[in-house]
Amino acid sequence: MPDASMERRSAPIIILLLVAALVLTIGLWAREKAALTSAQHSRIAGDASQGASQSQDRYEWKMVTTWPKNFPGLGLAAENLARYVDEMSGGRLTIRVYGAGEIVPALEVFDAVSQGVADAGHGAAYYWKGKIPSSVFFTSVPFGMNAQEMNGWLHHGGGLELWREVYAPYNLVPYTGGSTGVQMAGWYNRPIDSIEDLKGLKMRIPGLAGEVYASAGGTAVRIAGGELYTSMQTGVIDALEWVGPYNDLAFGFQEVARYYYYPGWHEPGAMLEFIVNKESLEALPQDLQAIVEYAARAANQEMLDEYTARNNAALQRLINEHGVELRKLPDDVLMALWRGTRQALDDLVEKDPIAAKVYASYREFYKGVRNYHHISEQAYINIRDDVLGDEDY
Ligand code: CA
């Protein structure tokens, strides 16, 4: 029987042996790991070199749009995306842009890309409201979030993930495709002094706002941009909303309507969409897929920047050169439109469980961002007007 002192003496030796065994095990494991990593690395390198040979492959996409070819603002987003992708990929992916009606009519863009007639499309999600009721939240809803808030929700608040989930059954991957910022309430051939004046008025106004408008006694009509001027000129419609001064001036609406109303209660931050056919996207190597993602993000921001820069000059021309009468919608009309919006939202989420899911996310984000913007953006805009008044900066 070993005595206690012997046990005490051997304890440090046992610990030393254990440590040595551990060091040896770690050493062997590390060598094995290093060998494995190196094998993995060469496999990745092999993939990369294979990727490099793949990367010499060239891809050409067709992009159909809901706008006339090379149309200012809205139409330029598609051209910008094509240019960014071409420049970033060194010409490995080129996107040929087709205006409305060149391959398919404006309002068939969704189906064309879904079915692979075209690889990509540019338009607005709410154009597909008949097929996908929840799509209105991805463009703009009356009295909803502005451009900055929409970008926040979509890119950092789970909105884009939901959008992709909603479009997945249609074989489509959506991307944010540019924002117009707050739009104008629209062009009218007679003044709107009370909610009664909306009764019987035929207006081109898409999305959920169309339903709100109908509940106020008007008739909402869905017409693509390219047909609006003639529709207004020939009296098919009495009023229309399109975008804002920069785009509306280019369309020439000042020639067919006298009254130009603000604010754009119905589209406070209209977000456009790029849509890509899933198979077309997955046929690209990873780096080109990433280029599509980042080019879309850049084209998205570029549109808002352009509208911010150009709207005021266009508005001044509409007023000073074309004699357009600029008017604000009366507060009681806006309150009535909000009551109609509340009802339209309730009806929408009751009828469609997917819309209810998207609405829950939109609503939660809006609540938080509105709370913060109350003391940031909103407080600042109010205070700068109070402080500067009519003085130039
Ligand atoms: Ca609009």
CA angle 137-174-101, nearest 5°?
A: 95
- Indicate if the pLDDT at residue 378 is higher than 70: yes
Residue 13: per-residue pLDDT: 55
- Indicate if the pLDDT at residue 32 is higher than 50: no
Helices (H) and strands (E) in the chain, counts: 14, 11
Q: How far is the CA of 242 from the centre of ligand 1 (A)?
A: 4
- The DSSP-derived string for 92-105 is SEEEEEE-TTTSS-
Residue 292: per-residue pLDDT: 98
Q: How far is the CA of 122 from the centre of ligand 1 (A)?
A: 15
- Indicate if the pLDDT at residue 132 is higher than 90: yes
Residue 225: per-residue pLDDT: 83
* Separation in Å, CA 310 to CA 8, 92, 181: 87, 33, 12
Residue 23: per-residue pLDDT: 53
Q: How far is the CA of 206 from the centre of ligand 1 (A)?
A: 7
Q: How far is the CA of 294 from the centre of ligand 1 (A)?
A: 26
Q: How far is the CA of 132 from the centre of ligand 1 (A)?
A: 18
Residue 200: per-residue pLDDT: 94
CA torsion angle for 359, 362, 364, 370 (degrees, to 10)? -130
For 316-351, write each residue's pLDDT tens digit. Answer: 999 999 999 999 999 999 999 999 999 999 999 999
Q: How far is the CA of 264 from the centre of ligand 1 (A)?
A: 8
Q: How far is the CA of 142 from the centre of ligand 1 (A)?
A: 11
Q: How far is the CA of 37 from the centre of ligand 1 (A)?
A: 55
Q: How far is the CA of 279 from the centre of ligand 1 (A)?
A: 31
Mean pLDDT over 25-31 rounds to 50
For 59-86, write each residue's pLDDT tens digit. Answer: 999 999 999 887 888 889 999 999 999 9
Residues in the chain: 393
Look at residue 121 and give its three-state secondary structure: strand
Taking the C-alpha atoms of residue 193 and residue 240, their distance in angstroms, rounded to an integer, is 17
Q: How far is the CA of 334 from the centre of ligand 1 (A)?
A: 17
Lowest mean pLDDT among 16-20, 234-238, 355-359: 16-20
Residue 25: per-residue pLDDT: 52
- The DSSP-derived string for 4-53 is HHHHHHHHHHHHHHHHHHHHHHHHHHHHHHHHHHHHHHHHHHHHHHHHHH
Taking the C-alpha atoms of residue 242 and residue 227, their distance in angstroms, rounded to an integer, is 11
Q: What mean pLDDT value characterizes the chain?
A: 89
Q: Residue 351 contacts by C-beta under 8 Å, 6 or more apart in sequence?
A: 133
Q: How far is the CA of 347 from the centre of ligand 1 (A)?
A: 22
Tokens at residue 66, please? 């809901």
- Indicate if the pLDDT at residue 52 is higher than 90: no
Residue 126: per-residue pLDDT: 95
Q: How far is the CA of 133 from the centre of ligand 1 (A)?
A: 17
Q: How far is the CA of 155 from the centre of ligand 1 (A)?
A: 22
For 229-270, write each residue's pLDDT tens digit. Answer: 999 999 999 999 999 999 999 999 999 999 999 999 999 999
Taking the C-alpha atoms of residue 272 and residue 110, their distance in angstroms, rounded to an integer, is 13
Taking the C-alpha atoms of residue 226 and residue 214, their distance in angstroms, rounded to an integer, is 23
Q: How far is the CA of 212 from the centre of ligand 1 (A)?
A: 14
Of the pLDDT bands very low, low, confident and very high (cuts 50, 70, 90), residue 356 is very high
Tokens at residue 59, please? 């891809």
Q: How far is the CA of 246 from the centre of ligand 1 (A)?
A: 13
Mean pLDDT over 372-387 rounds to 97
Residue 222: per-residue pLDDT: 84
Of the pLDDT bands very low, low, confident and very high (cuts 50, 70, 90), residue 384 is very high
C-beta of residue 325 within 8 angstroms of C-beta of residue 259:
yes
Q: How far is the CA of 388 from the centre of ligand 1 (A)?
A: 32
For 202-233, write each residue's pLDDT tens digit. Answer: 999 988 999 999 999 999 998 888 889 999 99
The one-letter code for the residue type at 111 is D
Residue 5: per-residue pLDDT: 46
Of the pLDDT bands very low, low, confident and very high (cuts 50, 70, 90), residue 355 is very high
The one-letter code for the residue type at 270 is A
Of the pLDDT bands very low, low, confident and very high (cuts 50, 70, 90), residue 197 is very high
**Residue 137: half-sphere exposure toward Cβ, Cα within 13 Å:** 30
Phi/psi for 234 (5° steps) reads -90, 0
Taking the C-alpha atoms of residue 353 and residue 302, their distance in angstroms, rounded to an integer, is 34
Of the pLDDT bands very low, low, confident and very high (cuts 50, 70, 90), residue 19 is low
- Indicate if the pLDDT at residue 382 is higher than 60: yes
Q: How far is the CA of 139 from the centre of ligand 1 (A)?
A: 10
Phi/psi for 220 (5° steps) reads -90, 130
Q: How far is the CA of 41 from the centre of ligand 1 (A)?
A: 52
Q: How far is the CA of 60 from the centre of ligand 1 (A)?
A: 31
- Of 34 and 367, the structure prediction assigns the larger pLDDT to 367
Mean pLDDT over 1-11 rounds to 48
C-beta of residue 66 within 8 angstroms of C-beta of residue 107:
yes
Pairing mode of beta strands 259-262, 325-328: parallel
Tokens at residue 153, please? 């929700």
Give the burial string for 222-233 (b: 16+ CB within 10 Å, else e): ebbbbebbebbe
Name residue 188's beta-bridge partners: 239, 259
C-beta of residue 341 within 8 angstroms of C-beta of residue 142:
yes
Give the burial string for 5-14 (b: 16+ CB within 10 Å, else e): eeeeeeeeee
Q: In the β-sheet with 325-328, what is the strand arrangement from edge to edge?
A: 219-221, 202-204, 239-240, 186-188, 259-262, 325-328
